[in-house]
Chain A
């Protein structure tokens, strides 16, 4: 039996990454609490699975490394070895290597790392034990396996194979040459996502010195994973049954449920009894399996397909808009009802598609505990890192982008925020610093907070630094309120840390993070109390693909302004416009609002036809400005399209939409408009 492995590569990569992320988490738990048996078991199980997967895929070096990790882990499990920092560090190193290997496989399709250094280190850890431990342990372990497989024997009874004349002849022939005939019922872990691969591994192991004569269900079904959690096979072999079973049970997620050595002379008789007993068994099993499968029926879908589904829904929403226009301009009453229906269905459809694209923020958060731990270790700090709300869901488009800014913030918190244990003790704080990363939904937004109980931000130092860098004059700095000073942190090239470290302090963290978040239509704010800690708050939209926008007109052109940046709109008469040093302003409820005319900002051709003017008040960071437009058309749901590579990066233009009439309209990017 042969299978093409390339089709499993994606599954392998995806699963390996999941296991890795899980391993990192569990190992962190173990590090905190070396006696945590649950974490240890989880690690063992995951490494074991990784090992099996890599050897099936033919990545021998990976299998080898994980095999040696497993050895050390099994010593940990049996309590022969303690999960001290040396061992945990080594295991972390191994995980990093595994990750590198997997990344390389993803890029190049081949592994090929020399892991001898780590394998040797793992061996050393193990060797340490053997100097103190009695060898007897190992033999005792082997004994238990023997007993376990023997006990299987009594469970067995019922196999059903349709053996034809030909099969019987082959079996008789095999028996006469001294081969054993063994029936095996192989159980695959119901949670396994690679059932067919497991089956393939079973066949691969058996290939060595057995002949698989028959399988139920037949091989093609096994290849397609079309079987419940068990399958039966008949093998002929010269090896004793328990050796083969032992070997099979080394495959991860595989268990030999029952087995039977068959006496060829009784074969015919047994067959008839088997069919009888099988019926009773059948009635029991399917209900079990069905119950299991109903609970978690999930499908892995290629992200491209979701994207194109999203595009199609976008088109639908667009044409819905067009229908609404026709309906209202022609005043067709019969059409209205249909339009309402379509409106309801399309918005339902849209929200379903959006939900499908939602991913828990866990995906991003999961890599942080490890990062914080490594940083803390490097800087000799003690940090308790807590994550809250990792189940909060976000659109994939946002998830992909949010990782980098968060890394910046966390690095800052570890490096500049949390003080060294000695300093903390001096200040009467607990030695161990706390960093909390939390996420939660708030309306159509997601709030992410990074909070530390470290040294906080020294406003005076920030101001001083800003003066030194020439960002503000010393007079300005003196009068500057503290909230303003915090904004300085986000200016390009700003860093308050006196010593530049590898981790942060080069002054390219916060402004980059801020730009990224604003590019996602988000906001970032910071709160800080000197000596007590700092809190960064990030607000992000749930999705970037479909947004609400305000359509405005300027001369003959129409533009869309994302509603998220619109605060309010108001009519404007010429006498409301005042001049302050050449800058047009208006007074809106006691506040001076700078005005910018969209026609001149965008060099819109043509003459203004009417006196009507409106102001769209938009937020740009913490500031408000008024955009002067000719008319307000209304609020619309728009599907953002990119202008493409050729026109990328035009300041003030965030993208395009296709309007209901088929024309292209441009979306304004308030952050870069001025």
Chain B
């Protein structure tokens, strides 16, 4: 996966480079992922448990005939899932011909972030976690954690 900073912004004629991200909520924290890696956002479907898979694999779903693995980032990041099922969604990410779904508590919005508003993750996190995180975006009063999906998923379960 390319470093987010090197990705061409969609409208490159802007002086200040912008990044489009999908922001979502896991527990009480707000996360964001580059929109280029988001295939679609769907309502919760029946998830079939896959025995003997990793601890953070929730199971698999049938998305129009395709079998898609679902990952539980709550348990991966040690976060408490929201009680309310109503707002929960599955974000299906796609890269390198690989598709993985993630259950999120709520999808907030699609936001444009100026690159100068992104702070390097290493300032806030330790080296290990920083690997999963591309940076922290400050938008008004909110802090969005920009995830490095490839790193998270290639780490194995």
- A interface residues with partner B (beta carbon < 8 Å): 311, 315, 557, 602-605, 641-647, 650-653, 656, 658, 662-666
Contacts A603-B51, A663-B62, A664-B61 known; list 5 others, CB within 8 Å.
A605-B49, A644-B98, A653-B50, A658-B62, A666-B51
Assess the A651–B60 pair: CB atoms within 8 A. no
Contact with A646, one of B48, B49, B61, B153 (Cβ below 8 angstroms): B153
Residue of B nearest to A602 (CB): B51
Q: Mask for B89-110, Cβ within 8 A of A = 1, else 0?
A: 0000000011110000000000
Assess the B50–A663 pair: CB atoms within 8 A. no
Assess the B67–A652 pair: CB atoms within 8 A. no
- Give 10 CB contacts A-B under 8 Å: A557-B48, A641-B66, A643-B50, A643-B67, A644-B68, A646-B100, A650-B50, A653-B51, A664-B59, A666-B51
User: Chain B residues near A641 (CB, 8 Å)?
Assistant: 65-67
CA distance A604 to B69 in the complex (A): 18
Assess the B67–A642 pair: CB atoms within 8 A. yes
Assess the A662–B62 pair: CB atoms within 8 A. yes
Contact with A647, one of B57, B61, B65, B66 (Cβ below 8 angstroms): B57
User: Chain B residues near A557 (CB, 8 Å)?
Assistant: 48-49
Assess the B52–A652 pair: CB atoms within 8 A. yes
A304 to nearest B CB, angstroms? 15
Contact with A665, one of B48, B61, B153 (Cβ below 8 angstroms): B48
Interface pairs A-B: 10 shortest CB-CB: A602-B51, A664-B48, A658-B62, A656-B67, A646-B69, A664-B62, A664-B60, A663-B46, A647-B69, A650-B52
Assess the A644–B52 pair: CB atoms within 8 A. no
B121-157, CB < 8 A from A: 153
Residue of A nearest to B68 (CB): A644
Interface of B is mostly: strand
User: Chain B residues near A602 (CB, 8 Å)?
Assistant: 51-52
B10-58, CB < 8 A from A: 46, 48-53, 57
Assess the A650–B99 pair: CB atoms within 8 A. no
User: Chain B residues near A646 (CB, 8 Å)?
Assistant: 69, 98, 100, 153
How many chain B residues touch A (CB < 8 A): the figure is 22
**Best-surrounded residue of B50, B52, B67 (most CB of chain A within 10 A):** B67
B57 to nearest A CB, angstroms? 7
- B interface residues with partner A (beta carbon < 8 Å): 46, 48-53, 57, 59-62, 65-69, 97-100, 153
B93 to nearest A CB, angstroms? 11
User: Chain A residues near B53 (CB, 8 Å)?
Assistant: 647, 650
Assess the B100–A604 pair: CB atoms within 8 A. no
Assess the A653–B153 pair: CB atoms within 8 A. no
User: Chain B residues near A651 (CB, 8 Å)?
Assistant: 52
User: Chain A residues near B98 (CB, 8 Å)?
Assistant: 644-646
A189 to nearest B CB, angstroms? 43
Residue of A nearest to B54 (CB): A647
Assess the B46–A653 pair: CB atoms within 8 A. no
B99 to nearest A CB, angstroms? 7
B92 to nearest A CB, angstroms? 12
A308 to nearest B CB, angstroms? 11
B129 to nearest A CB, angstroms? 22
Contact with B60, one of A645, A656, A662 (Cβ below 8 angstroms): A656
User: Chain B residues near A311 (CB, 8 Å)?
Assistant: 65
CA distance A41 to B100 in the complex (A): 58
**Best-surrounded residue of B46, B48, B66 (most CB of chain A within 10 A):** B48
Question: Given A646-B98, A663-B46, A663-B62, are A652 and B69 also a contact pair (CB < 8 Å)?
Answer: no
CA distance A604 to B50 in the complex (A): 10
CA distance A644 to B60 in the complex (A): 10
User: Chain A residues near B60 (CB, 8 Å)?
Assistant: 643, 647, 656, 664
User: Chain B residues near A644 (CB, 8 Å)?
Assistant: 67-69, 98-99
User: Chain A residues near B68 (CB, 8 Å)?
Assistant: 644
User: Chain A residues near B99 (CB, 8 Å)?
Assistant: 644
Question: Given A641-B67, A664-B60, A664-B61, are A647 and B50 also a contact pair (CB < 8 Å)?
Answer: yes
Assess the B69–A643 pair: CB atoms within 8 A. yes
Contact with B50, one of A315, A642, A658, A666 (Cβ below 8 angstroms): A666
B50 to nearest A CB, angstroms? 6
B44 to nearest A CB, angstroms? 13
User: Chain A residues near B49 (CB, 8 Å)?
Assistant: 557, 605
Assess the B65–A658 pair: CB atoms within 8 A. yes
CA distance A657 to B60 in the complex (A): 11
CA distance A641 to B59 in the complex (A): 15
CA distance A472 to B99 in the complex (A): 46
